[in-house]
Chains A and B, each alone.
Chain A
Amino acid sequence: MKYLDEYRDGRAAREFAGAIARVVTRPWIIMEVCGGQTHAIVKFGVDELLPKEITLLHGPGCPVCVTPVELIDKAVEIASRPKVIFTSFGDMLRVPGTSGDLLSVKASGGDVRIVYSPLDALKIARENPEKEIVFFAVGFETTAPANAMAAVQAKQMELKNFSLLVSHVLVPPAIEAILSFSDNRVQGFLAAGHVCAVMGYTEYEPIASNYHIPIVVTGFEPVDILQGIYMCVRQLEEGRATVENQYSRVVNRAGNLPAQKLMREVFRVIPRKWRGIGEIPFSGLGLGGEYKFFDAELRFDLAGRSVEEASECISGLILRGVRKPPECPAFATRCKPEHPLGATMVSSEGACAAYYRYRRFQPLSDNSIIG
């Protein structure tokens, strides 16, 4: 497939890895923010190609993982009601709430359906006028234009039986939150390429200069990630701290203006609670103005609740890069994909699931079983 397979080329990947090894003179810790990048790194084994001086940390780049427990509980409650068709991306179905996940609601007879696009959920709403269709609008900025589009089209069609359960989160505030923790170890960032395709990268420039930290907008295929790491390491070695764009075939500095306009029309920036991290101001999107009509929390009267997190799961420390999954005492023992304790094991993007599923092995001469 064009514009995909070329960036998975083994030779180019190994060349970039070799270039990183030649340029590096001391240890560096780099975080990739996006779950899709974590997935690619672990699946293709990108970290295995890197020199030992480079440590990759996996950040909170999975909106599934950071969706607060109370929102899962609200989703489960809405989906359990009669005459509701609850639609969602596949990722959300296995995330555990306080008392179960959406899949178990389906097993008990709830009408829970996986859709590929929020526009498919709109179609279901039009075809089922006697039911209430709710769409679980989760995601970073990448998904916001599509969710905004669904709301705008719903308003145009005057749909009365459609609503959105919104859990949108924004990346720049999360990066700042990570950098401001006193135990922060991150020295460079790979910014999420698809988020930047929508938003551009002007928001990262003040972060790079205020914290003196290089940020490279990076794509998702192994060659992209390796080039992004190379560019980041060069900045670190040279003492520079700017925003660079590795993913220039898709991203430009200003971003996608029609998409941003759609988002401004439908959403407002609000504070959001991140599972495992806590509340970060100005880090979420909520429906605003006339679009509040489509807010499922209001329609089903579920606004304003809070839940305590379970104690054994250390997703929060993992999402901030303070711990790696194998360092969690429950990893691969009490916490596995078949019975996850927290969202980072459930989502196939979650650092824990990625480590578990694609764990590396080394010949018996080496003790480590996980890369």
Chain B
Amino acid sequence: MTEKKDFQLSCPIPISEYPHVLLAHGGGGRLMHQLLEKIIVPAFSNEALEARHDGAVLNLQNTRLAFTTDSYVVKPLFFPGGDIGTLAVYGTVNDLAMCGARPLYLSVGFILEEGLPMETFWKVVQSIRKAAETAGVQIVTGDTKVVDHGKGDGIFVNTAGIGIIERNINISPAGVKVGDAVILSGDIGRHGMAIMAAREGLAFESTIESDCAPLSEPVMNLLAAGIEIRCLRDLTRGGLASALVEIAETSKCHIEIEETAIPVQENVQGACEILGLDPLYVANEGRMVVFVRAADAEKALALLRAHPCGAQATIIGHVHQAPASMVTMKSRIGASRIVDMISGEQLPRIC
């Protein structure tokens, strides 16, 4: 009797203010982190989870594997520069790459909504095939379920992936040290704005293409050249800002970046300006931040720029001692401000 009562979840802090799940809980911001910290991590706690990195690094006898999973619920299913299939493959490949692993095998699970046109499903499967080929991975297992019409959003995709860590490396937020350089692999905001352009009510004609791309090759190139990578993080929902804040909070360091160093394409800037969105918080799918020793920064930059996915790589800031667990940005007029996570999704504004 007593056990049953103890088993009840008691959630004392802000989550209790939300009796229902909100979209913001999936947005990559504070609310999502609260969901992770208050409900998920305490339920499953173990060493791999505690590292709070993109993938789990597992020691299996003489091999170190990276293991990750992701689910994809993007709407619309097809957008300029990709579709849910490309996203699914590259997203998982990138999470593995962020651990310094060579991605090898993926699983793909589909939840299909009754009534989905078969041609749509076929197109998504072809995209997955092409993306897997480009990324050099194999889809080795999977599952398919169908739900009643109205119970799913067309297609939901879940992928899991394993990769092998070939060197004696340890890439995670814990590796970040004072003095490290922060490199951003390319311009930001493309994926989020490409999706926005297709949403009803906000539709605009745009030439913005998602930056969806596999980052495993540029990472392998850095490792092969002997660069000691302290930390990697691919930018997804929540944008550059959220990725940096997560790293600063986990590693307890202070990251300072310069606004003028951050590349944003003009058409992305235009779309952000109209809707009142800050590119720092807009989703990306083919961009990463790379933390390296300051002495290695120029070499790392050259290697990244030699690859199509890193052509616009640039140093955007450095790691400092204090104040701890914080990200600050020097604005283009020279003043500094704290960069924080936003609570949920960024919403378009008029004010």
Contacts and interface: CB of A to CB of B under 8 A. Distances in A.
A and B touch in the complex (CB under 8 A): yes
A49 B336 CA distance: 10
Interface string B17-46: 100111110000011001000000000000
Nearest to A48: B335
Contacts of B71: none
Interface in A304-348: 336-339, 347-348
B75 to A, nearest CB: 13
Given A114-B201, A357-B342, A359-B338, A107 B17 contact: no
Interface residues of B, number: 42
Given A103-B22, A361-B323, A361-B328, A46 B333 contact: yes
A26 B343 CA distance: 40
A57 interface: no
Interface stretch (B161-169, B265-273, B283-291): B265-273
B202 interface: yes
A203 interface: no
A30 interface: no
B5 interface: no
Interface in B1-28: 14, 17, 20-24
B225 interface: no
Given A13-B333, A222-B333, A339 B14 contact: yes
Contact of A35 (B14, B34, B351): B351
Interface in B157-189: none
B274 interface: yes
A339 B14 CA distance: 7
B255 to A, nearest CB: 13
A120 B202 CA distance: 8
Contacts of A90: 275-276, 347-350
Nearest to B25: A107
A48 to B, nearest CB: 4
B351 A10 contact: no
Nearest to B337: A358
A9 B334 CA distance: 10
Interface in B318-343: 322-323, 326, 328, 331-338, 340, 342-343
A260 B351 CA distance: 20
Contacts of A139: 350-351
Interface string A16-58: 0000000000000000000110000011111011000000000
Given A103-B22, A338-B30, A49 B335 contact: yes
A116 B351 contact: no
A143 B201 contact: no
Which of A48, A336, A356, A364 gathers most chain B CB within 10 Å? A48
Contacts of A361: 323, 326, 328, 336-338
A42 B338 CA distance: 11
A115 B201 contact: yes
Interface in B165-219: 200-202
Contacts of A348: 276, 349, 351
Contacts of A81: none
B198 to A, nearest CB: 13
Contacts of B17: 339
Nearest to A140: B351
B350 A113 contact: no
B351 A108 contact: no
A334 B227 CA distance: 46
A143 B334 contact: no
A91 B347 CA distance: 7
Nearest to A34: B351
A113 B351 CA distance: 18
A14 interface: yes
A62 to B, nearest CB: 5
B273 A1 contact: yes
A193 interface: no
A90 B266 CA distance: 23
Contact of B270 (A1, A36, A63, A89): A1
A64 interface: yes
Contacts of B328: 361
B343 A338 contact: yes
Contacts of B351: 35-36, 62-64, 89, 91, 139, 347-349
Interface in B252-309: 260, 266, 269-270, 273-276
Interface string A347-365: 1110000001111110010
A94 interface: yes
Contacts of B24: 103
A359 B347 contact: no
Contacts of A339: 14, 17
A116 B201 contact: yes
A152 interface: no
Contacts of A113: 200-201
A46 B21 CA distance: 38
Contacts of A35: 351
Contact of A337 (B266, B275, B343): B343
A218 interface: no
A277 interface: no
Contacts of B347: 90-91, 93-94, 114
B24 to A, nearest CB: 8
Contacts of B30: 337-338
A87 interface: yes
B36 to A, nearest CB: 14
Contact of A44 (B14, B21, B332, B340): B332
Interface in B213-257: none
B97 to A, nearest CB: 31
Nearest to A91: B349
Interface in A42-98: 42-46, 48-49, 62-64, 87, 89-91, 93-94
A179 interface: no
B332 A8 contact: yes
Contacts of B337: 42-43, 45, 358-361
Given A43-B337, A91-B350, A124-B201, 11 more contacts: A14-B334, A43-B331, A87-B201, A89-B349, A103-B22, A108-B20, A114-B201, A338-B31, A347-B349, A348-B276, A349-B351
16 contacts: A10-B332, A44-B331, A44-B333, A45-B334, A45-B336, A46-B335, A62-B351, A90-B276, A104-B20, A115-B202, A124-B200, A222-B332, A338-B344, A347-B349, A359-B338, A361-B337
Can you list the 6 inter-chain pairs with the closest CB atoms, starting with the nearest?
A45-B335, A90-B347, A48-B335, A13-B333, A90-B348, A338-B343
